[in-house]
Structure 1
Amino acid sequence: MIEKILPPWVAAEEAFGDPPDATLFPEEEAVIARAVDKRRREFTTARHCARRALDRLGLPAVPILPGERGAPGWPPGVAGAITHCAGYRAAAVSLDALTVGIDAEPHEPLPDGVLPAIALDRERAALARLGPGVHWDRLLFCAKEAVYKAWFPLTRRWLDFDEAHVTLTRTGTFTARFLVPGPQVLGRELTGFAGRWLAADGLLVTAITVRPADLYGRSTSG
């Protein structure tokens, strides 16, 4: 599913359940030693997906430990991201990307009161113009999560929901414009991201990928 919105130079694996053969390294076991069953299953299957994706790049299985602010710790030279929600887990990795951000959410409305907390006034106004067929409020949240996951490895800084303006389209794309200074990447300030989205099988998925070439006028979404 998620590979449909990722470029060919990104390896992705996903799971719609928790396979019984998914296992953890001892270092990972230590991280979730006190976790409830739901958290343990999410964590384990997401790492299973991540190792399968790394294998597609020709890389060995290694522990993938949460680092600063919970960001996955990838092997040197790898950019990647992990996501999980009810009934879905996925990982995407690349040796060619500067950063990768993915997110998945159930294709349902956001809980009451969440949209005002995550959306700018002009974003909420834009959602109302997009029309029926998609839970745009949840998709906006999903896109903003992908934005943060792509932002953090480049900056090591937090990005609040109101610090990026996201514009969704009905054609499966979105853009994010930073409202705070962006990261300096290869001598240039990155002012935003372009991404893609998909609604299928009761899920929403979003993806952002950035290569060095993308900083010189080429597509930032693959």
Structure 2
Amino acid sequence: MHILLTRPLEDCSEMILKFKSLGHQVSHIPLINIEKVNYEEIKFSEYGGIIFTSANAVKYLNQNNIDKNIKCFCVGNLTEKKARSSGFQNTIAAEGNVSNLKELILQTYETKSKKLLYVSGEIISVDLDQQLMKEGYGIKRVINYRVKHNQKFNESFVKDLKLNMPDMVYIYSQNSAQSFLSFVKNHQFESLWMNTNLSCIGEKTSSILNEIKWKKIFLFNPGEEEFLLYKI
């Protein structure tokens, strides 16, 4: 099976090796780059919990003065895995979307407790901090990374891809979906995906690519990539 992965290489190198070991052909097109954003110094002692809605939020947080036993709310298993590998001990994960994360916080964190620190990228799909404030929580949002869309792609890669279209494409964010749509339109091969399956994290992400005709569209959570291959 021919699989197209779209995350930055450092985020999918293990998956590339895994799929290749299973005998699949793997192509890779990094749709976005992640850049660190400088932010003001954080007094972590003021907060009773940290919210992470992506693994990149964990990656680009200066963790020198954090008590790693602080309660750590993660949007999904991939983010929790990154948090635990960074030394956070008291982690809890939702089921891969912000709505579930919000409910998890409402159920497990008292509004009268210390403020919550919400660490995220520059662009977010859900204003989680504003929603939690309406529920009575004290919360501060810190932006520590931004997404840059790749504009130029190797022409020989594009030519080879048109000659050997993938059986499955994985898209991990709305930012990546927007980049992918631009990539397809700029290289004028909107009509070549009818035999390709699309797998996206969340309906909002998949809806961006609805104007392309796909064989099937699947929704998944990180960690389910290999499982999805058995559905096609």
Larger Rg: 2
Asked if Structure 1 and Structure 2 have the same fold, meaning a TM-score greater than 0.5 normalized by the shorter chain, the answer is no
- TM bin, normalised by shorter chain, reads under 0.3
TM-score w.r.t. structure 1 length? Answer: 0.24
TM-score w.r.t. structure 2 length? Answer: 0.23
